[in-house]
Amino acid sequence: MDRNPADACRTRKYRSRRQRPCDNCRRRRVCCLRTENEPCSLCRSRGLQCTFVSLPNPKFRALVSADEIDQGTTQRLPAGGETVDKVASSGPGTGKTEETLQYVGLTGDQDPFILRFCRTKRIEGSTGIQWTCHHLGNDPRRPVSFTSVPDLHLEARPSYYPRSPIVELLPSNRSSLVDTFFKIVHPALPMLDPRPLQNSTTSSTLLASVFALAHPYCIEAQSLDPWDFIDFVSQALPIEARNVKLETIEAALLHAQRHTYIFRAPTMPGLWSDMGSIVGMSYDIGLNIDATNWDIPEDQKKQRKRLWWTVYVQEKWTALTLGRPSYINDDQHDVEQLQTIDIIPAPNAPQGTELFPARVFVAAARLTTILADILSRLYTVKATKALQELSAEQVGVIASDFISRLEQWKEALFNPLLGNNTMYDPTGNLQLLYFTAEITLLRALLRTTAGNEFRQRSAALISNVVHWLRNLQVNSLSAFWWMSSRISFAIAGGFMIGMFLSATAEEDGEYWMVQLNLYRDLLKAHSVNFDITKLAAIRLDLMLQRENGEKAEEEIPHISEAQGPGTRDQDEIHYPSSAAADDNIVLEPVTITGSQQVRDDFQIDPFVAFGSTYGLEWSENLDFDILFP
């Protein structure tokens, strides 16, 4: 008996052979629900074209030829993670599609050694581009491949993406903030190319990060609220991390350097997790891979190199100052060393100083490679254990190697930068990085069996730090300082406290207490108009605060000049004085009455900050809440 086709559709539509699924439902293997002469529910809800093809595996017509794609790849870098705009003619309602490209790693499901034989450069569906493969490397032994997917698949701009404050900014304010950025911030952190910032299509997150850093220095923009920029970037970056572009990483790096408006501990909550996100985004777009031989423009090769070394420098110093293990393994990058030609000068830079910011940043990158070795050889979990088992001779070999490298860096890269007469001198920040690197080295060496041999060098180093801080010039104080500088000043103060607590003679302890008080006075004096030292001043006050809430400074005189102890120390260590060394002034011994009170406040356990007690009888029960607030 014949059945009415309409009745069959009403009873079992989803199994009727007379009503085959559309192409989209067949590809997704879902039930195709539709009425006669209307698109199915899936195509209707997603705005797709409901089509039918007789073959089970339809062949899609390529949008452009492979030769055209290769030519476009050499003209603009897709591997940098930048947006590739293509028009997909896949049906009604389909417009311009943005793609995000990601580096193909060696262990994933898309093996680059297999992709290099892939003849298909682009696969499309009815909704547009689904998958694209780009080959950039010329070495068959090290294939470099990137694949891309539509940003739509990555939820690049969901409904909860924050509203940008840039759209409400007056053109005059925008121009003033950009000019201020390249006048003050760029000499200390020459990461950006000035030209794209003048483009109206520049990323809002990048512009907001630039404006947030430039705001304190821009008089014309003081009516603006810097938190509008900071809050926008904080909300937008986690979303943009799904479809990383080069501008995304630039914005994230600048955002990590944002100014501190509330001085507390921690000063920037979540900074270390943010740094991990930056490193992860860098790996996503292959910044850790050397692009020297890629088929991309030279400007983009330089941009990738600048960005990678900025990530590297910022990650290592953040790991140091926060006391965290590094995210970056040196075996996982092969980018060539940064050179001055890789950095683009700021517009309107004073004549004769165009390359000065580049030289400063190159020096910072080279110093960071030394710091990275110090952290990996002396501060990993396994290295700290192994260091305790080394003999004094073995420790001496390690120390000599690092000290030699630091001195060579200072002679070759830092000293030629001194004497700069620009209004905003970034060398002060670089000098502090050098001091912090050497303090980090000595902190590890002082905890070994040969630790006593490095106390005199520690005293000389701190004397130089105090003298340098006392003589900081206005052009250095008015320059932009990196985020790590705040904690670096605090690290120097903590190092002095550790040296005082491990002193083995009265004169030794008196010397370190004088240095500590002088350093604290200098921090407080600078903090009135120099925010970078505020955190260190607060930390030192907390570390020297007594349990009953009174300050130890009430019983400790503040000495205007530091002087070293006599020769009665059991190790015959002669501590240099910054004043005596520089001005040939002979200082009389000073008796300090409050050092014992501070020592009592800490109640040191035999396992002190720098390991061996060198025979000193310590009190009991170290109060870590006081020592490390």
Is residue 123, in this structure, part of any structural domain at all?
yes
Q: Assess whether pLDDT exceeds 80 at residue 472.
A: yes
Output the average pLDDT for the chain. 77
The mean pLDDT value for 393-418 works out to 96
- 537 and 398 in a common domain: yes
Between CA 620 and CA 629 the distance in angstroms is 19
The amino acid sitting at 32 is: C
Residue 353 neighbours by CB under 8 Å, 6+ apart: 420, 422
Between CA 210 and CA 186 the distance in angstroms is 10
Is residue 146, in this structure, part of any structural domain at all?
yes
The amino acid sitting at 261 is: Y
Q: What pLDDT score does 570 carry?
A: 31
- Of 67-81, 256-270, 447-461, highest mean pLDDT: 447-461
- Domain total in the chain: 3
Q: Are 232 and 254 in contact (CB under 8 A)?
A: no
What residues form DSSP beta bridges with 132? 122, 148
- 148 and 49 in a common domain: no
Q: Are 492 and 465 in contact (CB under 8 A)?
A: yes
Among the residue ranges 5-9, 95-99, 339-343, 458-462, the one predicted with the least confidence is: 5-9
Q: Assess whether pLDDT exceeds 50 at residue 265.
A: yes
- Of 4-13, 260-269, 369-378, 598-607, highest mean pLDDT: 369-378
Tokens matching residue 600: 């009592």
pLDDT tens digit sequence for 4-46: 544 444 444 444 556 778 887 877 667 888 877 788 888 887 7
Is residue 316, in this structure, part of any structural domain at all?
yes
- 109 and 47 in a common domain: no
Q: What pLDDT score does 521 carry?
A: 94
Is residue 379, in this structure, part of any structural domain at all?
yes
Local structure of residue 51 (DSSP, 8 states): -
pLDDT tens digit sequence for 435-461: 999 999 999 999 998 989 999 999 999
Q: Are 166 and 224 in contact (CB under 8 A)?
A: no
The residue among 289, 5, 9, 22 whose CA lies nearest residue 143 is 289
Task: Classify 134 as helix, strand or coil.
Answer: strand
Q: Assess whether pLDDT exceeds 90 at residue 335.
A: yes
Going across the sheet that includes 145-150, the strands are 84-87, 96-103, 145-150, 128-135, 122-125
The residue among 385, 512, 384, 404 whose CA lies nearest residue 444 is 384
Task: Classify 198 as helix, strand or coil.
Answer: helix
The amino acid sitting at 340 is: T
- 439 and 331 in a common domain: yes
The parent domain of residue 40 ranges over 10-53
CA separation, residue 81 to residues 251, 285, 336 (Å): 14, 5, 20
Between CA 305 and CA 313 the distance in angstroms is 12
The mean pLDDT value for 289-310 works out to 92
Q: Assess whether pLDDT exceeds 90 at residue 53.
A: no
Q: Are 473 and 489 in contact (CB under 8 A)?
A: no
Q: Assess whether pLDDT exceeds 80 at residue 116.
A: no
Which of the listed residues 510, 545, 580 is the one where a domain comes to its end? 545
- 387 and 305 in a common domain: yes
- 280 and 145 in a common domain: no
The mean pLDDT value for 202-231 works out to 92
Task: Classify 149 as helix, strand or coil.
Answer: strand
Which of the listed residues 545, 564, 596 is the one where a domain comes to its end? 545
**Nearest 5 degrees, angle CA 232-CA 254-CA 423?**
125
Q: Assess whether pLDDT exceeds 80 at residue 552.
A: no
Q: What pLDDT score does 119 carry?
A: 57
Q: What pLDDT score does 616 carry?
A: 35
Tokens matching residue 160: 């909860």
Tokens matching residue 125: 């569906």
- 116 and 43 in a common domain: no
* Helix, strand, coil share (%) of the chain residues, nearest 5: 50, 5, 40
Cis preceding-peptide flag for 565 (omega within 30 of 0): no
Task: Classify 438 as helix, strand or coil.
Answer: helix
Stretch (H or E) spanning 600: helix 595-602
- 300 and 379 in a common domain: yes
- 149 and 265 in a common domain: no
The residue among 37, 136, 128, 120 whose CA lies nearest residue 91 is 128
If phi > 0 it is left, if psi is from -120 to 50 it is alpha, else beta; for residue 328 that is: beta
User: Model's pTM, two decimal places?
Assistant: 0.74
Q: Are 372 and 364 in contact (CB under 8 A)?
A: no
pLDDT tens digit sequence for 579-597: 333 443 333 333 333 444 4
Among the residue ranges 97-101, 295-299, 625-629, the one predicted with the least confidence is: 625-629
Q: Assess whether pLDDT exceeds 50 at residue 89.
A: no
Which of the listed residues 518, 545, 572 is the one where a domain comes to its end? 545
Is residue 467, in this structure, part of any structural domain at all?
yes
pLDDT tens digit sequence for 121-151: 666 655 555 677 777 777 777 888 787 777 7
- 140 and 31 in a common domain: no
Q: What pLDDT score does 55 carry?
A: 55
Is residue 206, in this structure, part of any structural domain at all?
no
Residue 566 neighbours by CB under 8 Å, 6+ apart: 507, 589
Residue 76 neighbours by CB under 8 Å, 6+ apart: 82, 84, 297, 300
Is residue 200, in this structure, part of any structural domain at all?
no
Q: What pLDDT score does 515 carry?
A: 94
Rounded percentage of the chain residues whose pLDDT exceeds 70: 72
- 457 and 361 in a common domain: yes
The mean pLDDT value for 371-397 works out to 95
Is residue 455, in this structure, part of any structural domain at all?
yes
Among the residue ranges 59-68, 437-446, 517-526, the one predicted with the least confidence is: 59-68
Among the residue ranges 107-121, 179-193, 260-274, 601-615, the one predicted with the least confidence is: 601-615
- 403 and 329 in a common domain: yes
